[in-house]
Amino acid sequence: MNLDYLFDAAHWEFGTSGSIPQLLLSHLWYVVLALAIGTVIALPIGLYIGHTGRGSFIAINAGNAGRSLPTLGLLMLMVTLLGLGLLPVLIALTVLVIPPILTSAYAGLRSLDQRVVDAARGVGMRPWQVLTRVELPMALPVLMSGFRSAALQVVATATVAAAVGLGGLGRLLIDGLAVNDYSRVLAGAIVVAVLAVLLDLVLAFAQRWIVSPGLRVSR
């Protein structure tokens, strides 16, 4: 076990298929797509439940229910049903990111001081305005922490895509294992962990940028 594979310049050439940058890019592509689709699905539902308080049972339990679905099994199920392609991976990974986003959207709204929401109504805001101008901005810190944990999870889990013949950084793990090249497995693990840390940093900066300065003090 050594770092030879990681530091071999030949494995960093962008043009070669299967090179680290290419795998990194396809990995990131799975991650971004899954997060985007997951957010589009989970955010409105979470906000709706948080705003209205209806169906909070779903929001509270969605987190653990989603986590309990074994991603590898789901992925193999999907590939068996749909064949080789991007779609089965996206389905399996999206299922993974929905629960934390949904739960945090709900928890973010519920954690607000009800007096603030009442005040917003009091000054004549419509429900939609209350949601977009008061509740959502104030819930952002909690929401972002849910989004960040979803991102971390999906970066590490997207590696299983390689187990069903697809790309991403998991290739380094699966192929390294299959050809008995631990240096390659190690390279894969390191790149995945670094990617996770970098992505989390980026999201942390994004959070600073979009969260109102007035809300920072309490954090």
Partner 1 sequence: MINYLQNNSDAVLTALRQHIWLALLPVVLGFLIALPIGYLGVRFPWLYHPLVNVAGVLYSIPSLALFVFLPVVLGTKILSPLNIVVALTIYTVALLARTVADGLRSVDHLITESATAMGYRRFRRLIDVELPVALPVILAGLRVATVSNISLVSVGALIGVGGLGQLFTRGFQLFYLEPILVGVILSVLLAGVADLIIVIIQRAVTPWTRFQGGRA
Partner 2 sequence: MMRFGRFTAVTAALALTVALTACGADEDPLANDNGGGSAAPGTITIGSANFAESELLAEIYSQAIEAKGVQVKRQFNIGARELYLKALQDGSIDLLPEYNGALLSALTPGGAPEGVSKPEDVLGALKKVLPAGTEVLEQSPAEDKDTLTVTQETATKYSLKSIEDLKPVAKDLVIGAGPEWQERYQGLKGLEAVYGVKFKEFKPLDAGGPLTVNALVKGQIQVGNIFSTDSSITVNKFVVLEDPKSLYLAENIIPLIRTTANNPTVSGALNAVSAKLTTENLTTTLAKVQVDKQDTASVAKAWLTENGLV
Name the site residues for partner 1 (rule: CB under 8 A): 1, 56, 60, 63-65, 67-74, 76-77, 79-81, 107, 110, 152, 155-157, 159-160, 163-164, 170, 173-174, 176-177, 182, 185-186, 188-189, 192-193, 196-197, 200
Backbone angles phi, psi at 23, to 5 degrees: -65, -40
Length of the chain (residues): 219
Binder of residue 171, out of partner 2, partner 1, none (CB less than 5 to 8 A by kind): partner 2
Residue corresponding to tokens 């050809």: 179
DSSP assignment of 90-122 equals HHHHHHHHHHHHHHHHHHHHHTS-HHHHHHHHH
Instruction: Compute the distance between CA of residue 3 and CA of residue 45 in angstroms, rounded to an integer.
Output: 45
* DSSP-assigned letter for residue 55: T
Can you tell me which of 10, 114, 128, 180 binds partner 2, judged by CB under 8 A? 180
Question: H helices of the chain, where?
Answer: 4-7, 20-52, 56-68, 71-82, 86-110, 114-122, 127-129, 136-157, 170-178, 182-210
For residue 87, the minimal CB distance to partner 1 (Å) is 16
d(CA 159, CA 150): 15
Site string for partner 2, 30-69 (x = CB under 8 A): ----------------------------------------
Q: How far apart are CA 20 and CA 5, in angstroms?
A: 10
Q: How far is the CB of 12 from partner 2 (least distance, A)?
A: 18
Query: Among residues 123 and 217, whose Cβ is nearest to partner 1?
Result: 217
Considering the complex, what minimum distance in angstroms separates the CB of residue 166 from partner 2? 9
Interaction between residue 177 and partner 2 (CB under 8 A) = yes
Q: How many angstroms separate the CA atoms of 22 and 13, rounded?
A: 9
Report whether 209 contacts 25 (CB < 8 A).
Answer: no
Residue 178 contact, options partner 2, partner 1, none, Cβ 5-8 Å cut-off depending on partner type: partner 2
Task: Give the number of residues in contact with partner 2, rule: CB under 8 A.
Answer: 17
Residues 92/162, Cβ–Cβ less than 8 Å:
no
- The option from partner 1, partner 2, none interacting with 180 (CB < 5 to 8 A, set by class) reads partner 2
- Scanning residues 68 to 127, which ones bind partner 2 (CB under 8 A)? 79-80, 83-84
* Residues binding partner 2 (CB under 8 A): 17-18, 79-80, 83-84, 162, 164-165, 171, 174-175, 177-181
